Amino acid sequence: MSAVNDSVLFLVLRRMRAPLIVMILIYAVSILGLVLIPAVDAGGAPTAPMSFFDAFYFVSYTASTIGFGEIPNAFSYGQRFWVTACIYLTVIGWTYSILSILNLLKDDGLQRALATGRFYRKVKNLSEPFCIICGVGETGSLICTTLDQVQMRFVVLDTRPEPLQELELGDYLADVPALNADAQIPGILLLAGLRHSHCKAVLAVTNSDEANLAIAMNVRLLNPGIPVIARAEHAATAANMDSFGTNFVVDPYALYARRLALAMRSPPSYQLVEWLTRVPGTPIPELHKPPTGKWIVCGYGHFGRAIVQHLDTMGLHDDVRIIDPRPTNPDDHLSIVSAGTEASPLIDAGIKNAVGLVAASDNDINNLSIAITARELNPDLFIVMRQSSSANSMLFEAFDANLTMITTQTVAHACLSYLTTPMLSRFIREIEKQPAAWAESLIKALTPICAGCVPFVWTTRINRVKTPALAQALHNVDCPVSVAALMTSNRDRRESLKLLPLMLERAGQIILRPAPDLPLHNGDKIIWTGTREAWNEQKLTASYGNALNYVLTGKSSTGSWLGKYLNG
Amino acid sequence: MNLEKVVFGFFIVLAATLNFGFFIGDIDRPELHHIYELFAAIVVNLIATTLKFGDRTQIGAIHLATSLVADLQLIAAAVTWGFAVHVMHLGMTPEITASVVSLSGGALFANVVSVIFLIAETLMMRR
């Protein structure tokens, strides 16, 4: 990118030409005048004028306003006339030059060129794995905060300068390279490190579906090896993205509707999914049990449609009433054309004997209005609300609906769980297939570990690079290592760590909730959940030979040859 | 007719001619090399250098390089002159004069190279 630096230099040089020429001319004229005008000696008699060198010296300290006044004799009046003129000339000359330089530095083009150069250098010097986040609106900044907490680095692109300024002021653990540019332009993505050896993923979470689509396409074509996670609000865009192989398309409405259906079918499973996908360290969300029965859906947009589809698959087709201001033909559901914010359409839809209501329009105030009216008409109603903007959080918290779907948070959580633990989405699909009793037993096992906070979720991959000690031990076929080795503390092997194995993947096969006596093989991938301290201890056991040795045999040694010889 | 090119060419040629005017004459006779001409040569060379800033082409780079060389040599000549006369109080002996004039000869060579490039550039554009 030396072209960027060069162009900055050339721009500066070009702009400086006029001021420099003015200064040279002013100096030349002043010196010439002083060399021609006769001086006077101490007595007052006229003598030869100053030499060139004296004149140059005098003009130098006069023009820079230092004013030594050091030339031995006082000036003649002719000289004084000339010097007066010089003073005004030179001061104007310097002012012009300095103002030109300042204007140049303020120049937008120059600033942008400098910022791009700085950004490029910062990205080039990254030596840890990082993601590229395109779009730091509410979703993007939520993702940034969480990634920072799990100590993953990221590079940020956005077309607006304000979110980037907020990012600068934010309290992040590491330096965040940020650029105000359009990520749809392939050159910008390359600048942000798309082909960098440490780039791990690209997240396209801007507000615009077309932009996300363009970014996903750019990544697919420029560097197919990098996973791209894209947000799509419309089904058409989601299908488009899937068609060229976007790794993970986040459709917040479909996702939430699926979770809601899960919550209706099997509340413990839904609770388990919530526990595993929320931001670690935050308090555990309370259990919600949306009832099955008659549901009213207000607003047949994307969210409403997704919910109705899931309700249909649960066999509640005839119990669904749709209220929407636009007349649509929604697959033979009973529908009322209305905004739904007054009492009468709600009563017509049968709110008095309904069990639940979904306020799914895209306007937060309308949703609140619908919900308030509904609660007045039927206080026992299970209300699900859609919140589009975090700015209205206070209103939604004050109303306290049973379930509030915050679009930006849903997208952020989905992206984060895919990014930090890709196996997790597979595990969640497995949870959805299991019966409620299975989920309940897992929750019971998890409760003492979690202590009221959302646990951390991580994956362990057993190979020579990630877990050297464990891989080494597994080469010894006569000494099998089981899952229990990774569940024991390496400070005191009678203590077990506060974690649980959720799923083990071996050669494409999965084992849910592996038993502690299951032997491990090289190449296994295991998802764990537990506290952060347990995670750190387990990492140490798997990587450090002495710790693993202690856990397996109970003998603590330094591992040196002398120690091994003396201890036998 | 491009005014910028006229100005550019004017200053390059003026710099070369003033330099030549100072240089010409016996190398060790101070009365043949007038200080005002050296002064004029320095000023115009500096202006010509400034005009050559900011050109990204290869020819522009060579122009700037030759100009800087000429500036360097002319300023060295002026410094030698000033040092000899004012600091060492030697006056303009033939030896000092020869040093000053040979330095300006070096600057002349650089200026001539610059003029040749100017000619080449102009001939390349046949219009």
Q: Which comes out higher in pLDDT, residue A3 or A487?
A: A487
Question: Quick one: A263 and A299 in the same domain?
Answer: yes
Q: How confident is the model at residue A82 (pLDDT cuts 50, 70, 90)?
A: very high
The 3-class secondary structure across B82-101, one letter per residue, is: HHHHHHCCCCCCHHHHHHHH
Cβ within 8 Å, pair B47-A53: no
Contacts 24+ apart (CB under 8 A), B101-105: B101/B22, B101/B23, B101/B25, B101/B27, B101/B33, B101/B77, B102/B27, B103/B73, B103/B74, B103/B76, B103/B77, B104/B19, B104/B22, B104/B23, B104/B38, B104/B41, B104/B73, B104/B74, B104/B77, B105/B23
Tally the domains of chain B.
1
Cβ within 8 Å, pair B43-A25: yes
Residue A39 in contact with residue A50, Cβ under 8 Å? Answer: yes
Quick check: is A112 in a domain?
A: no
Q: How far apart are the first and last CA of chain B?
A: 11
User: Could you identify the residue written with the tokens 């899931």?
Assistant: A310
Mean predicted lDDT score pLDDT of chain A:
85
Is the confidence at residue B109, as pLDDT, over 90? yes
Within 10 A of A484 (CB to CB), how many other CB atoms are there?
16
Rg (CA), chain B: 16
Quick check: is A447 in a domain?
A: no
Within 10 A of B48 (CB to CB), how many other CB atoms are there?
26
Q: Is A23 on the interface with B (CB under 8 A)?
A: no
Q: Which two tokens stand for residue B69?
A: 């060389």
Q: Which two tokens stand for residue A508?
A: 């494409």
Per-residue pLDDT, averaged over A238-267, amounts to: 85
Cβ within 8 Å, pair B50-A17: yes
Residue A331's CATH number: 3.40.50.720
Quick check: is A115 in a domain?
A: no
Q: Which comes out higher in pLDDT, residue B114 or A471?
A: B114
Confidence at residue A563, expressed as pLDDT on a 0 to 100 scale: 67
Residue A144 in contact with residue A164, Cβ under 8 Å? Answer: no
Quick check: is A311 in a domain?
A: yes
Question: Quick one: A10 and A36 in the same domain?
Answer: yes
Q: Which two tokens stand for residue A200?
A: 């791990």
Per-residue pLDDT, averaged over A85-105, amounts to: 89
pLDDT tens-place string over residues A362-388: 888 888 888 888 888 888 888 888 888
Confidence at residue B46, expressed as pLDDT on a 0 to 100 scale: 95
Q: What 8-state DSSP symbol labels residue A206?
A: -
Question: Quick one: A194 and A290 in the same domain?
Answer: no
Is the confidence at residue A20, as pLDDT, over 70? yes
Q: How confident is the model at residue A3 (pLDDT cuts 50, 70, 90)?
A: low
Residue B119 to chain A, least CA–CA distance (Å): 23
Question: Quick one: A268 and A332 in the same domain?
Answer: yes
Three-state DSSP state, A479: coil
* Residue of chain B nearest A33, judged by CA positions: B36
Cβ within 8 Å, pair B39-A14: no
Per-residue pLDDT, averaged over A32-61, amounts to: 88
Question: Quick one: A266 and A381 in the same domain?
Answer: yes
Q: ∠ CA A318-A324-A326 to the nearest 5 degrees?
A: 125
Q: Which comes out higher in pLDDT, residue B37 or A48?
A: B37
Question: Quick one: A509 and A381 in the same domain?
Answer: no
Cβ within 8 Å, pair A17-B86: no
Cβ within 8 Å, pair B53-A14: yes
pLDDT tens-place string over residues A445-493: 888 888 888 888 888 888 888 888 888 888 876 677 888 888 888 888 7
Residue A489 in contact with residue A496, Cβ under 8 Å? Answer: yes
Question: Quick one: A422 and A505 in the same domain?
Answer: no
Chain B partners within 8 Å of A20 (Cβ):
50, 53
Nearest to A360 by CA among A250, A257, A209: A257
User: Could you identify the residue written with the tokens 């209300």?
Assistant: A383
Q: Which of B43, B51, B86 sits opposite A28 (nearest CB)?
A: B43
Is the confidence at residue B122, as pLDDT, over 60? yes
Q: Which of B46, B47, B86 sits opposite A51 (nearest CB)?
A: B86
CA distance A448 to A143: 28
Cβ within 8 Å, pair B56-A10: yes
Question: Quick one: A303 and A409 in the same domain?
Answer: yes
Is the confidence at residue A233, as pLDDT, over 90? no
Q: Is A244 on the interface with B (CB under 8 A)?
A: no
Exposed, middle or buried, A101 (CB in 10 Å: 0-12/13-18/19+)? middle
Which CA distances in Å does A404 have to A123, A394, B120? 38, 12, 76
Nearest to A292 by CA among A269, A310, A268: A310
Is the confidence at residue A568, as pLDDT, over 60? no
pLDDT tens-place string over residues A201-216: 999 999 898 999 999 9
Residue A112 to chain B, least CA–CA distance (Å): 19
The 3-class secondary structure across A148-195, one letter per residue, is: HHCCCEEEEEECCHHHHHHHHHCCCCCCCCEEECCCCCHHHHHHCCCC
Confidence at residue B127, expressed as pLDDT on a 0 to 100 scale: 64
Q: What is the ipTM of this complex?
A: 0.86
Within 10 A of A547 (CB to CB), how many other CB atoms are there?
20
Residue A342 in contact with residue A330, Cβ under 8 Å? Answer: no
Question: Quick one: A246 and A258 in the same domain?
Answer: no
Q: Which two tokens stand for residue A196?
A: 């960098």
Q: How confident is the model at residue B34 (pLDDT cuts 50, 70, 90)?
A: very high
Domain region containing A351: 253-426
Q: Phi and psi for A556 in degrees, rounded to 5?
A: -100, 125
Lowest mean pLDDT among A38-47, A326-335, A399-408, A490-499: A326-335
Mutate to test the interface with B, among A5, A17, A26 (most CBs of B within 10 A): A17
Three-state DSSP state, A153: strand
- Judge if pTM exceeds 0.80: no
Q: Phi and psi for A341 in degrees, rounded to 5?
A: -85, -15
Confidence at residue A155, expressed as pLDDT on a 0 to 100 scale: 94
Quick check: is A449 in a domain?
A: no
Is the confidence at residue A332, as pLDDT, over 80? no
Cβ within 8 Å, pair A25-B47: yes
Q: What 8-state DSSP symbol labels residue A76?
A: P
Nearest to B101 by CA among B127, B123, B76: B76
Cβ within 8 Å, pair B54-A14: yes
A511 Cβ partners below 8 Å, 6+ apart? Answer: A503, A504, A505, A518
Question: Quick one: A407 and A271 in the same domain?
Answer: yes
Domain boundary among A250, A274, A295: A250
Tally the domains of chain A.
4
Residue A478's CATH number: 3.30.70.1450
Q: Phi and psi for A492 in degrees, rounded to 5?
A: -150, 110
DSSP letter string, A487-538: GB-SS-TTSBPSEEEEEEEETTEEEES--TTPBP-TT-EEEEEE-HHHHHHH
Domain region containing B101: 3-124
Is the confidence at residue A538, as pLDDT, over 80? yes
User: Could you identify the residue written with the tokens 């060198």?
Assistant: A53
Lowest mean pLDDT among A240-244, A329-333, B7-11: A329-333
* Residue of chain B nearest A20, judged by CA positions: B50
Confidence at residue A559, expressed as pLDDT on a 0 to 100 scale: 64
Confidence at residue B104, expressed as pLDDT on a 0 to 100 scale: 95
Residue B48 in contact with residue B15, Cβ under 8 Å? Answer: yes
Within 10 A of A501 (CB to CB), how many other CB atoms are there?
22
CA distance B88 to B81: 10
Confidence at residue A479, expressed as pLDDT on a 0 to 100 scale: 73
Per-residue pLDDT, averaged over B78-102, amounts to: 90
Domain boundary among A217, A250, A283: A250
Cβ within 8 Å, pair B54-A31: no
Q: How confident is the model at residue A139 (pLDDT cuts 50, 70, 90)?
A: confident
* Residue of chain A nearest B42, judged by CA positions: A28
Three-state DSSP state, B126: coil
Quick check: is A435 in a domain?
A: no
Q: Which two tokens stand for residue A229?
A: 């996670």
Cβ within 8 Å, pair A13-B53: yes
Is the confidence at residue A56, as pLDDT, over 80? yes
Residue A531 in contact with residue A448, Cβ under 8 Å? Answer: no
Dihedral angle, C-alpha B60, B66, B68, B70, nearest 10 °: -150
Residue A71 in contact with residue A54, Cβ under 8 Å? Answer: yes
CA distance A481 to A471: 10
Confidence at residue A521, expressed as pLDDT on a 0 to 100 scale: 85
Residue A12 to chain B, least CA–CA distance (Å): 8
Q: Is A17 on the interface with B (CB under 8 A)?
A: yes
Residue A49 in contact with residue A31, Cβ under 8 Å? Answer: no
Question: Quick one: A216 and A310 in the same domain?
Answer: no
* Residue of chain A nearest B40, judged by CA positions: A28
Question: Quick one: A219 and A230 in the same domain?
Answer: yes
Residue A125 to chain B, least CA–CA distance (Å): 28
Q: What 8-state DSSP symbol labels residue A312?
A: H
